[in-house]
Amino acid sequence: MKKRYFILVVYLIISIIFSINSNASSHIPSKYDSWKYSISSVSLISIISLIGVITLSIKSTNLKKIILYLVSFSAGALLGDVFIHLLPEVTSHYGFTIKVSILILVGILMSFFIEKIIHWNHCHKPTNKKHIHPFAYLNLIGDAFHNLIDGIAIASSYLISIPAGIATTIAVLFHEIPQEIGDFGILIHGGFSKAKALFLNFITALTAILGAIIALLIGNYVENLTLYLIPIAAGNLIYIAASDLIPELHKEPNIKKSIVQSFIFMLGILTMLTLILLD
């Protein structure tokens, strides 16, 4: 049981150490410090994707029973993330302009066409027991893009000050925990094995490191970059939640289970609402 929480405990301990050390570094950090803290933080954020390992000890028959509940939570968390975190972040700086609206639609359309292509490709292949649903691949793409933005956000904060970077890292941490659990459930539900889902989830998490490097290299231009990336990511998440996940929940015929799913769905939203207090 203790091993299941080992990664989280290690991360929290290191975060506390970083926080203590940052008290004396409220001034604008040097390039070396910005790179050191940024890469360290996003690397630790990437490790959080392995939280799905806690489900590896669960039997497949039992895991299938809770997959839809994980999907329910993820659907709520994704929508909550979009409307409580991502879009308010953009509109607070630039307003809700036609540019933002178009970029959200671009994200939705990109997701639609990507899923169409994946679905068409699978429809022209012989069916087998290991068939992977298109939305599982789409979730990987969306998660990679979302982690890229997280990396940009964390590194951008460290360019301002070490304490600001620490605060953003912790906020992203608590945002990632429920999302990564949900993403792991989506991949399992989409047809991946538990081991492969865990591996792919970790690979997509590594894009946070790429995002941090981009932010550190382009420096002052990162704010304009996030103006474009965040709405597109929001559109992608809206599409996944509304087009792929929620319809899956409607397939549950049992009233009691449907009620439980609804509560878990709302819990996902409430979790994102609670995290706003960390911003």
Predicted local distance difference test score (pLDDT) of residue 213:
92
Q: What pLDDT does residue 106 have? A: 92
Please, which pLDDT band fits residue 12 given cuts at 50, 70 and 90? very low
Q: What angle do CA 42, 47, 49 make, to 5 degrees?
A: 105
**276 or 12, higher pLDDT:** 276
Domain residue spans in the chain? Answer: 2-278
So what's the pLDDT on residue 60? Answer: 65
In the prediction, which pLDDT does 22 show?
Answer: 46
pLDDT-based confidence at 197, cuts 50/70/90? confident
Q: CA neighbours within 13 Å on the CB side: how many for 122?
A: 18
User: Model confidence over 209-234: pLDDT tens digits?
Assistant: 998 998 888 876 655 666 777 788 78
Which amino acid would we find at residue 232? I
% of the chain at pLDDT higher than 70:
74
Tens digit of each residue's pLDDT (9 = 90 or more) over 29-44? 777 888 989 999 999 8
pLDDT confidence of residue 63: 63
Q: pLDDT at residue 20 above 50?
A: no
Mean pLDDT of 172-198: 78
Q: Quick: pLDDT tens for 45-75.
A: 888 888 777 766 667 667 666 777 878 888 8
For the ranges 61-70, 100-109, 191-200, 242-251, the lowest mean pLDDT is seen at 61-70
b/e sequence 104-124, b meaning 16+ C-beta within 10 Å: beebbebbeebbeebeeeeee
Q: In terms of pLDDT, which residue wins out, 176 or 15? A: 176
For residue 67, which of 264, 203, 241, 243 has the smallest C-alpha distance?
Answer: 264
Apex CA 131: angle with CA 120 and CA 66, to 5°?
120
How do residues 68-116 score in pLDDT, each as one tens digit? 787 888 888 888 888 987 788 778 777 888 989 999 999 899 888 877 7
* pTM tops 0.85: no
Q: Which amino acid is at 30?
A: S
pLDDT of residue 3: 41
